[in-house]
Chain A
Amino acid sequence: MTTEALAGLVFVPLVAGMVAMLLPARAAGVLVIAALALVPVLLWPVTLAVWHGGPVLVELGGFGPPLGIVWRADPLALSMLWFTALVALLVSLHALAGFRPETAEGRRFWPQWPILIAAINALYLSADLFNLYVTLELVTLGAVVLISVGSKSVAMIAAMRYLLLALMASLFYLLATALIYGQTGTLDLYLAGERLQDGTLAAAALMLMITGLLLKSAIFPLHMWLPAAHGNAPWSVSAILSALVVKASLYIVLRVWFWTAVGIDTQMAATFLGVLGAIAILYGSLAALVQERLKMLIAYSTVAQLGYVMLLFPLASTAAFRGVTMHLVAHGFAKAAMFLAAANILRALGHDRLRRMTGIDQKLPIDLAAFALAGVSIMGLPPSGGFLGKWLLLEAAWARSGWGWMAVIVLGSLIAAAYVFRVAALSMFGSGRAGRVEVPRTLASMTALALALVAIALGFAAAPFFALIDRGLPPGMLP
Chain B
Amino acid sequence: MSSLAVYVVAAAAVFGVGVYGLIVADHVLRKLLALNMMGSAVFVLMVAVSGSAQGRPDPVAQALVLTGIVIAVAATAFALALLVRIHHDTGRVTLSERGDDDD
* A residues at B contact (CB < 8 Å): 67, 130, 134, 137, 141, 144-145, 148, 151, 153-154, 156-161, 163-164, 167-168, 171, 174-175, 177-179, 181-183, 185, 187, 227-228, 232, 292-293, 296, 351-353
Contacts and interface: CB of A to CB of B under 8 A. Distances in A.
Nearest to B45: A178
B64 A130 contact: yes
A137 B75 contact: yes
A130 B85 CA distance: 32
A314 B84 CA distance: 45
A97 to B, nearest CB: 20
8 contacts: A67-B60, A153-B89, A153-B90, A161-B95, A164-B35, A181-B49, A181-B61, A183-B49
B17 interface: no
Contacts of A293: 101, 103
Given A153-B86, A156-B89, A174-B42, A179 B49 contact: yes
A378 B35 CA distance: 37
Consensus secondary structure, chain A interface: helix
B15 A175 contact: yes
B78 A168 contact: no
Contacts of B46: 174, 177-178, 181-182
A353 B61 CA distance: 52
B48 to A, nearest CB: 8
Given A130-B64, A144-B82, A353-B103, 17 more contacts: A151-B85, A154-B99, A154-B103, A156-B86, A158-B100, A160-B79, A164-B35, A168-B19, A171-B15, A177-B46, A178-B46, A178-B61, A182-B49, A183-B49, A185-B50, A187-B60, A293-B101
Contacts of A181: 46, 49-50, 60-61, 64
Interface string B43-86: 00110011100000000110010011001001100110011011
Given A157-B86, A157-B92, A352-B103, A171 B38 contact: yes
A154 B95 CA distance: 11
Nearest to B38: A171
A160 B95 contact: yes
Nearest to A178: B46
A148 B22 CA distance: 22
B51 A164 contact: no
A161 B96 CA distance: 10
A144 B78 contact: yes
Q: What DSSP secondary structure best describes chain B's contact surface?
A: helix
B103 A351 contact: yes
Contacts of A174: 42, 46, 68
A156 B85 contact: yes
B99 A163 contact: no
Interface in B15-42: 15, 19, 22, 28, 31-32, 35, 38-39, 42
A122 to B, nearest CB: 14
Nearest to B61: A181
A157 B90 contact: yes
Contacts of B22: 164, 168
**Contact size class for B?**
35 or more
A67 B15 CA distance: 27
Given A168-B35, A293-B103, A163 B68 contact: no
Chain A CB within 10 Å, residue with most, of B42, B50, B67: B42
Nearest to B74: A141
Contacts of A157: 86, 90, 92, 95, 99-100
A141 B77 CA distance: 11
A232 to B, nearest CB: 8
Contacts of B67: 130, 134
A164 B79 contact: yes
Contacts of A179: 45, 49
Nearest to A163: B79
Tell which of A164, A183, A187, A227 has the most Cβ of chain B within 10 Å.
A164
A144 B81 CA distance: 12
Contact of B31 (A156, A164, A187): A164
B82 A156 contact: yes
A194 to B, nearest CB: 18
Contacts of B15: 171, 175
A145 B35 CA distance: 19
A145 B39 contact: no
